[in-house]
Structure formats: C-alpha cells, structure tokens
Amino acid sequence: MDAVTTSLEAWLRRCVPTTGLDFDGPGSGLPDAGGGCVLRAFLYDVREEERGRSGGMYLRDGADSSVTARLQPLRVLQYSYQLTAYGADWREHQRVLGEVMLAAAAVPSLPDDTVDESFAVYGPGALPLVVAPAAPVPFPWPVTAVPSAPALHLVVKAPLRPPADTDLRPAPDRVELGTRRTDGAPESAHRRTSALRPRRRIEE
C-alpha cells in the first residue's frame, strides 16, 4: 500500500515542485504552510475493482513440464485519495489543484520513472491514474462542517498478485482403468430383456 502512495508522491513533486506535500489525515489538523502552499493527499479508501480479477495461471518446470506452482488471479485495487491545497488564499489553492489536473490530463498512468520498483514486474503503465472521476467513492465519514479548502478526488489503480501456491499434490505416476466385455446394451436393459423373454417348450 505504501508503494502506491510513494509513487503518487514522486509524481506530485514533479507536478508542483514548489509546493509542500502532506499525507496525513484531516484529523491531524491543518498542515503548516509556512507562508507558502501545502498540498495534502489523504488516502481514505482502498477497495477491489469490480470485475478486476484475471484468470489464474500455473508455473511449469522446463525440464519435465510438471506444475510447480499455482498463481491466483491478478487483482486490481482502487486507491482513492482526497487532495486539498492549503495556502494564503483561494487563488493559491485552486492554482495548485489546477496544475495537478493539467498534468494528469497528459498521462493515462503514473510515469514509469515515478513508480515504485516493486511494480516493475507488471510492465509499463502499471499504475493507471484517474483525476476527478465521474463517480468517486464517497468519504467514509460524515461531513460535520463546510471544508475550508476545495478538494480534488484522485484514484490510482494498482495490481496485486497473491503469493504463488507451491503446496501442490504431485500428479499420480499411473492411472489404472478397469475393463469388461459387454454387448453394448446397458446392464439394466440387458437384465430386463432377459426376464421378459418367454421360455421355449418342446412338445411331442
């Protein structure tokens, strides 16, 4: 989970290099802007994306093609962030959020050079990015007051592959199948036909 947030942090530092960054929750109080502007990115929800699982896979030994591990389906998790800018006035707040929106409009995912190395196995574009989604995940707490600064929703989608299952039962060396001779008719039908057949009599 922290690898996703550190990847987002690296990208935000590129978007707003002169703005301070804060990743604490709203319960920790307002960040100290120190006369400048601070952008807070608060991770408030993580959930699995609907229909986000791919099929499972098996790993085979190259020598004898035996199955050595079973890979569970790849999952896609949706990380929802609340971005809020704090500064001198509303113009500064909206300027910072606007720069983030403009940078996000130019890329479909977090740039690969900002993504944590743990996602390298998933190839380029491992962390898709969605800013201001049409249907954001609602905040899980009730709103008790009017917020003091505008908020921007941001979503990062990240793959998750469960550990490989290597505790597999070995395949049997031999399978024996029983065989018997038959005339092709089912056994029950054969017995029923024999029971109804009339006996032959010899008359002189």
Please spell the DSSP secondary structure of 60-81, one letter per residue: E-TTT--EEEEEPPPEEEEEEE
168 to 55, 61, 69, 117, 174: CA distances (angstroms): 18, 13, 7, 30, 18
Tell how far CA 13 is from the center of its chain. 25
Q: Which domains does the chain have, with CATH numbers?
A: 2-51+75-156 (3.30.2000)
How are beta strands 151-160 and 20-22 bridged, if at all?
unpaired
What tens-digit pLDDT sequence spans the chain (204 residues)? 899 999 999 999 999 999 999 998 877 777 776 678 899 999 999 999 877 565 555 555 555 555 556 667 888 999 999 999 988 788 999 999 999 999 999 999 999 999 999 999 999 999 999 999 998 998 877 765 666 788 899 999 999 877 766 665 665 556 667 666 666 655 555 555 555 555 555 555
The answer to whether the beta carbons of residues 157 and 80 sit under 8 Å apart is no
Entry field: residues in the chain: 204
Measured distance between the N- and C-terminal CA atoms of the chain, rounded to whole angstroms: 100
Global pTM reads 0.71
Phi, psi dihedrals of residue 39, rounded to the nearest 5°:
-105, 120
